[in-house]
Structure 1
Amino acid sequence: MAKTTSDMIVERLLEWGIDTCFGINGDAVNGFFEALRTHADRMRFVHVRHEENAALAAVGYAKFTGRPAACVSTAGPGAVHLLNGLYDAEMDGVPVLAITGMTYHDVIGAHLMQDVESDFLFRDACAFSERVMGPAHAVNATDLAVRKALAARAPAHLAIPADIQSQTEDTNSPKNPPRHTSTAAQVQIPAPPREELERAAEVLNSCTRVAIVAGAGARGAGDALERIADTLGAPIVKAGLGKDAVPDDSPFTTGGMGIIGTRPSHEAFENCDGLLIVGSATAFYEFWPQPGQARGVQIDLNPARLGLRYPIEVGLAGDAAATLTDLMPLLRRKTDRAFLEHAQAGMSQWWDVLREQAHDDVVPMRPQTITWELSELLPDNAIVTSDAGTVTAWGGRLRLRRGMNYSFSGTYCTMGSAVPYAIGAKTAHPDRPVIAFNGDGAMSMGLGELATLAQYRLDITVIVLRNDSLALEVWEQNALLGNPQHGCELHSIDFAKIAEACGLEAFRIEKAGQARNVLSAALAHEGPALVECVVDPYEAPYADTIKNTHADKLVAAYENGEPEARRMARNLLEPARLPMAPAVRHAENELRRFL
């Protein structure tokens, strides 16, 4: 039987090692689904409930494997839905292959239903976006798409008109003889020249207080990072996407950075005279060392990102682990360990404060209760996916041990991404425990995917911090603009009941004393489970790290009529935050007026 365009694309994807596809069918892509059906013994298809989540699941798959997956949608609105998840892949540097349907080839642009030219639409989000013109074009286009996705660490896209998908007859042009392409490929990894490594070592050896920044590009380089940190006596500050670059039980890390980071990380930036940036372009400008304060060296696989966030002196384009290994013999061990030891003492105190907050029996309970107890119970090789909102701050406080992995939508900040990321992670790693850590605003955007977990019996534990608020926006409206909150209240959803209706085992935690036992039972459950955790929306996600300008804006918001001013001021000033955060101390007298 003659092969269709779709057959040829699916078989070429398999030759590239792409054997998993997430998506939803539709009339404009049914020809491609026929090829998925006839290749179902080799191409695994996972049906999700929203096209955006198909792309996000492919992103999760790629983030936790390093290999691309495919995602597929119908034309028009299906393709547009898919696009949002592809921007997530593009901004976090993840290879994904997207396939969308189009209307019939001879009426494109003629105003038929769902007539959107997705090949043009996707070109901003994707490293490659092309319309497949027939069977003769299928293999060539697929090869180019996969190569571009791998080389650029970005999504690539093929748009296939509905009739072309099932077409079998086509003639190759003289410029495109059959079998002239192959799947042989090697992504070029630059290696910094020796003289640049020596320049970098000179900079770092000249400094007495070096801080290291680890981002997504440092994942997989943890051992080398810790050796460098030990040699330089340097604390490792982690950008959000670098949370699992080194585990949180490492003696060298001060945890996260930025407005949802830790105070020891801020102090390291405020007092360093040297900065080594490894695989990070995080944009918290106001929290980086001041320009000129520290001599800077940066390592990044993408040369275009060198010098993007800080005025470095030396930029090293290369793989993080390999470059750090080459740099290591050129560095001199620092005998003065005071800078690192101060950071370590600060981090020990920071964890003590978090522990104290976690065991407070206030109602509604603190989000820190769930973070602390979940950290204690996480299985050794767990994968954790997190979401956008205040849950990003609380997820950043999870204490990852060695062998654990973590990611979230770090640059695009896609709400509702934790569960589809988890679907991708569990599909890729069926034998590893997977936990999706959500807020209620994010979870309510993708409730349909609970049914996906049940449909495929995906053994994923979904944690939902329910505070009936878009709480991050409350704090941002207050602390960034000085305005009272508006438009942030959420109608209460009984997530446990919805989970049960979808076929999941459901749990609820309303008091701190219940947390450990309930979380333990949920993690032990065989099959998908959801834990609804009722928490305080007005617990400050960043009291330790705000600047004086933020504290002044908070005071202005309270003066301007913030309805929860008393409760929020109390949480900022409460005794468990000892010693008091500098910015809170700066505004202490003004904040106390609202108690």
Structure 2
Amino acid sequence: MATTAADVLVDRLIAWGVDTVFSLPGDGINGIFESLRRRQDKVRYVQVRHEEAAAFAACGYAKFAGRLGVCLATSGPGGIHLLNGLYDAKMDKQAVLAVTGHTFHDLIGTNYQQDVDLVKLFQDVAVYNERVAGPAHVVNALDAAVKAALAYRGVAHLCIPKDVQEMPADASRSAANVPGHSGDLVADTGLTPGAKTLQAAADVINAGKRVAILIGRGAIGCAAEVEQLADAVAGPVVKALLGKAALPDDSPYTSGGLGLLGTAPSQDAMKECDTLVLLGTSFPYLEFLPKPGQAKCVQLDIDPTRIGLRHPVDVGLSGYVRPILTALLPLIEKKADRSFLETAQDRMAKWNELMDERGRRTDFPMKPQVVGYTVNQFLPADAIISVDCGTVTTWAARHLKVRGTMMFSASGLLATMGNALPYAVGAAAAFPGRPVVAVCGDGGFTMTMTELATVAKYNLPVKVVIVKNNTLGQIKWEQIVFEGNPEYGCDLHPIDFAKFAEAVGVPGYTVEKAEDAERIIGEAFRQPGPALLQCVVDANEPPMPGHATTAQALQFAKSLARGERDRWDILKTVFKNAVREVI
């Protein structure tokens, strides 16, 4: 029975179906921790080593489980540390509740210890943001926060002063605050458009001769409907990064990813289509989309404010992708001309051959493509894959093949480093026993590497794959290719991650040669429980886009002419890649 305001909070979280809270203790939340301790049979506390990781884990939990992610942080610095992970949730539209502590309610604003106004600090990141005034305020505020997070697919924040947490649950209540008036239910807002709008969308699609489909995270769970649409319109399905798991990579309809880490066939499809169908995506890189005026466009999105955000839209349909497609498909006429799809399929077959050839290379230093290609052979069909931000994202997007019931995610619009390992913690908490793989660069891994201790503490079945090149590779190549300058400030001091893993109780493996990759990577994946695999790769292998532009080539040449120190090794690598691609 609830005896304190903190008890009321935790009991209400349980009523909402919350079963996991990611946190690190602190004196500003001791009252809540005592309530969690006495309810540990109903809600699981997962201890992380840094509050940023708690927010990342909550975001990963929300992404993979499709449920509310919850993180808890102490006052002052604890709450501040949450922000990067919370912005990741905000920008990728994930429902996360952050609960923070605060100093004593009657010392707020007096420069007391850890007296940081977290409500003011969180006002940009949160769709709901409130300080709890007392025990009678808890249920009302928590219900409003959870509803806002779920309905708006965003971050909600509650800040509770430390002494308020320990106040008696039956403390004074205003006469207007009628007990039991707040409900723990969120209405389903996924409406299906009317018949007239559906027919207008079908008319645009039916009139197209070269229809391309771009899918994002909103299309996850809709693979059958997406393939039916692709078959009817005889068009390729291009995938935004967060939509990688929406359609298996071995589907005959997909041409793979789009953008700098995408495929040449997908870029070709965007350049040549006369009709574009956007399904559950807010793909931000406008330069890879059809030019305005080139293609008619139909967009489906749960958020009506995102209709037409990236590309001019002729018909917009707001709601969930699956019910809209179910209603739309009977109105789509099957195209007799299959040439646009067949051309994309032929190009994709050649692209896959090229990727496989690069993945089997035996050069030394080992090529990063070898890691993705080889890891792919050992991925269980139900694996959950989290990927860090950097050049490692390119290798994972191109070489890891989603199949079966695999899940895949990365930091989307925020594109933050350090997310993969805490995402994996969140995924393992959401799906106990299911295999999880965190694919990290050495730069991103070092930002949250202490969470390997979290993996060890709970014996989570997480395999950590580190693509190690001792440089901030993505920044290095951006300096060279986009800025036309030699790289500067990107070198990283080498760390032996396998030894670090052993130090925290996780088996560590190292592979440096391509001929050893299959054997060692296989050993790591066959290891029961967690394991860490550091793969030492060539730092001069560029993650070039599917089609490099003339401007990129000129900046690349300019950088080398200005004195890029590894220019000869880089030129040799690029020349070899170009020759292989032509052959």
TM-score normalized with structure 2 length: 0.98
Query: Which of 418, 421, 424 is 2:420 aligned to?
Result: 418
1:120-199 counterparts in 2 under 5 A? Answer: 120-168=120-168, 169-199=170-200
Q: Is the 8 A contact 1:105 1:161 kept in 2?
A: yes
Displaced runs of 4+ in structure 1, greater than 3 A? 575-581
Query: Could you tell me which amino acid in structure 2 is paired with residue 417 of structure 1?
Result: N
Query: Could you tell me which amino acid in structure 2 is paired with residue 279 of structure 1?
Result: G
Listed one character per residue, the Cα deviations across residues 376-401 of structure 1 (whole Å, up to 9, x for unaligned) are: 21101111000000011111011111
1:157-556 counterparts in 2 under 5 A? Answer: 157-168=157-168, 169-397=170-398, 398-556=400-558
Inter-partner Cα distance in structure 1 for 2:76 and 2:564 = 43
- 10-19 or 393-402, which moves further after superposition? 393-402
1:33 maps to 2:58: no
Cα deviation for residue 579 of structure 1 reads 4.0
Q: Is the 8 A contact 1:388 1:415 kept in 2?
A: yes
Secondary structure in 1 aligned to 2:130? strand
Query: Could you tell me which amino acid in structure 2 is paired with residue 133 of structure 1?
Result: A
- 274-283 or 183-192, which moves further after superposition? 183-192
Inter-partner Cα distance in structure 2 for 1:437 and 1:284 = 23
Aligned match of 2:50:
50
Q: Is the 8 A contact 1:210 1:233 kept in 2?
A: yes
Identity, % of aligned pairs? Answer: 46
Listed one character per residue, the Cα deviations across residues 309-361 of structure 1 (whole Å, up to 9, x for unaligned) are: 00111101010111111111111111111111111111111111111111111
Q: Is the 8 A contact 1:381 1:403 kept in 2?
A: yes
- 527-536 or 174-183, which moves further after superposition? 174-183
Cα deviation for residue 546 of structure 1 reads 2.6
Q: Is the 8 A contact 1:353 1:576 kept in 2?
A: no
Query: Could you tell me which amino acid in structure 1 is paired with residue 83 of structure 2?
Result: L
Inter-partner Cα distance in structure 1 for 2:581 and 2:196 = 46
Cα deviation for residue 190 of structure 1 reads 2.1
Query: Could you tell me which amino acid in structure 1 is paired with residue 334 of structure 2?
Result: R
Secondary structure in 1 aligned to 2:316? strand
Inter-partner Cα distance in structure 2 for 1:271 and 1:211 = 9
Aligned match of 2:107:
107
Inter-partner Cα distance in structure 2 for 1:161 and 1:543 = 50
Secondary structure in 2 aligned to 1:304? helix
Secondary structure in 2 aligned to 1:225? helix
Inter-partner Cα distance in structure 2 for 1:518 and 1:400 = 22
Q: Is the 8 A contact 1:357 1:576 kept in 2?
A: no
Inter-partner Cα distance in structure 1 for 2:298 and 2:443 = 39
Secondary structure in 1 aligned to 2:459? coil
Inter-partner Cα distance in structure 1 for 2:54 and 2:582 = 44
Secondary structure in 1 aligned to 2:276? strand
Inter-partner Cα distance in structure 2 for 1:55 and 1:528 = 22
Inter-partner Cα distance in structure 1 for 2:454 and 2:343 = 48
- 166-175 or 342-351, which moves further after superposition? 166-175
Q: Is the 8 A contact 2:259 2:545 kept in 1?
A: no
Cα deviation for residue 63 of structure 1 reads 0.7
Aligned match of 2:569:
567
Q: Is the 8 A contact 1:215 1:243 kept in 2?
A: yes
Cα deviation for residue 447 of structure 1 reads 1.5
Q: Is the 8 A contact 2:2 2:11 kept in 1?
A: no
Listed one character per residue, the Cα deviations across residues 512-553 of structure 1 (whole Å, up to 9, x for unaligned) are: 111112122211111210000001122111243332211111
Q: Is the 8 A contact 2:263 2:545 kept in 1?
A: no
Q: Is the 8 A contact 2:62 2:69 kept in 1?
A: yes
Aligned match of 1:8:
8
Inter-partner Cα distance in structure 2 for 1:577 and 1:284 = 29
Secondary structure in 2 aligned to 1:340? helix
1:558 maps to 2:554: no
Query: Could you tell me which amino acid in structure 1 is paired with residue 6 of structure 2?
Result: S
Query: Could you tell me which amino acid in structure 2 is paired with residue 130 of structure 1?
Result: E
Question: Quick one: structure 1 residues 126 and 383, their matched pair in 2 at CA, closer, same or farther if it must change by over 3 Å?
Answer: same
Inter-partner Cα distance in structure 1 for 2:137 and 2:338 = 62
Secondary structure in 1 aligned to 2:164? helix
Inter-partner Cα distance in structure 2 for 1:187 and 1:331 = 27
Query: Could you tell me which amino acid in structure 2 is paired with residue 303 of structure 1?
Result: P
Q: Is the 8 A contact 1:573 1:580 kept in 2?
A: no
Aligned match of 2:62:
62
Q: Is the 8 A contact 2:354 2:581 kept in 1?
A: no
Secondary structure in 2 aligned to 1:258? coil
- 368-377 or 498-507, which moves further after superposition? 368-377
Query: Could you tell me which amino acid in structure 2 is paired with residue 566 of structure 1?
Result: W
Q: Is the 8 A contact 1:543 1:572 kept in 2?
A: no
Inter-partner Cα distance in structure 1 for 2:228 and 2:554 = 41
Query: Could you tell me which amino acid in structure 1 is paired with residue 211 of structure 2?
Result: V
Cα deviation for residue 573 of structure 1 reads 2.4
Secondary structure in 2 aligned to 1:259? coil
Question: Quick one: structure 1 residues 251 and 577, their matched pair in 2 at CA, closer, same or farther if it must change by over 3 Å?
Answer: farther
Inter-partner Cα distance in structure 2 for 1:527 and 1:548 = 48
Q: Is the 8 A contact 1:258 1:545 kept in 2?
A: no
Q: Is the 8 A contact 1:435 1:463 kept in 2?
A: yes
Cα deviation for residue 2 of structure 1 reads 5.8
Query: Could you tell me which amino acid in structure 2 is paired with residue 349 of structure 1?
Result: K
- 146-155 or 187-196, which moves further after superposition? 187-196
- 421-430 or 547-556, which moves further after superposition? 547-556
Query: Could you tell me which amino acid in structure 2 is paired with residue 196 of structure 1?
Result: T
Structure 1's unaligned 5+ residue stretches are: 582-595
Inter-partner Cα distance in structure 2 for 1:542 and 1:282 = 19
Inter-partner Cα distance in structure 1 for 2:545 and 2:165 = 55
Secondary structure in 2 aligned to 1:243? helix
Cα deviation for residue 93 of structure 1 reads 0.7
Inter-partner Cα distance in structure 2 for 1:306 and 1:293 = 18
Listed one character per residue, the Cα deviations across residues 441-474 of structure 1 (whole Å, up to 9, x for unaligned) are: 0011112111111111111000000000001101
Inter-partner Cα distance in structure 2 for 1:292 and 1:69 = 41
Secondary structure in 2 aligned to 1:200? helix
Listed one character per residue, the Cα deviations across residues 194-241 of structure 1 (whole Å, up to 9, x for unaligned) are: 111111111111111111000111111111111100110110110111
Listed one character per residue, the Cα deviations across residues 398-442 of structure 1 (whole Å, up to 9, x for unaligned) are: 111121110011111121100100000011111311000000000
Inter-partner Cα distance in structure 2 for 1:281 and 1:2 = 44
Secondary structure in 1 aligned to 2:500? helix
Question: Quick one: structure 1 residues 302 and 31, their matched pair in 2 at CA, closer, same or farther if it must change by over 3 Å?
Answer: same
- 54-63 or 561-570, which moves further after superposition? 561-570
Inter-partner Cα distance in structure 1 for 2:430 and 2:359 = 33
Secondary structure in 2 aligned to 1:530? strand
- 542-551 or 238-247, which moves further after superposition? 542-551
Inter-partner Cα distance in structure 1 for 2:578 and 2:367 = 12
Aligned match of 2:80:
80
Structure 2's unaligned 5+ residue stretches are: none
Secondary structure in 2 aligned to 1:572? helix
TM-score normalized with structure 1 length: 0.96
Cα deviation for residue 569 of structure 1 reads 2.3
Q: Is the 8 A contact 2:267 2:546 kept in 1?
A: no
Listed one character per residue, the Cα deviations across residues 235-283 of structure 1 (whole Å, up to 9, x for unaligned) are: 0110111010101011111111011110000000111111001111111
Listed one character per residue, the Cα deviations across residues 75-96 of structure 1 (whole Å, up to 9, x for unaligned) are: 1111010111111100001101
Listed one character per residue, the Cα deviations across residues 483-516 of structure 1 (whole Å, up to 9, x for unaligned) are: 1100000000100000000100111110111111
Question: Quick one: structure 1 residues 151 and 575, their matched pair in 2 at CA, closer, same or farther if it must change by over 3 Å?
Answer: closer
Inter-partner Cα distance in structure 1 for 2:557 and 2:47 = 49
- 404-413 or 537-546, which moves further after superposition? 537-546
Aligned residues: 581
Q: Is the 8 A contact 2:28 2:162 kept in 1?
A: yes
Inter-partner Cα distance in structure 1 for 2:492 and 2:478 = 16
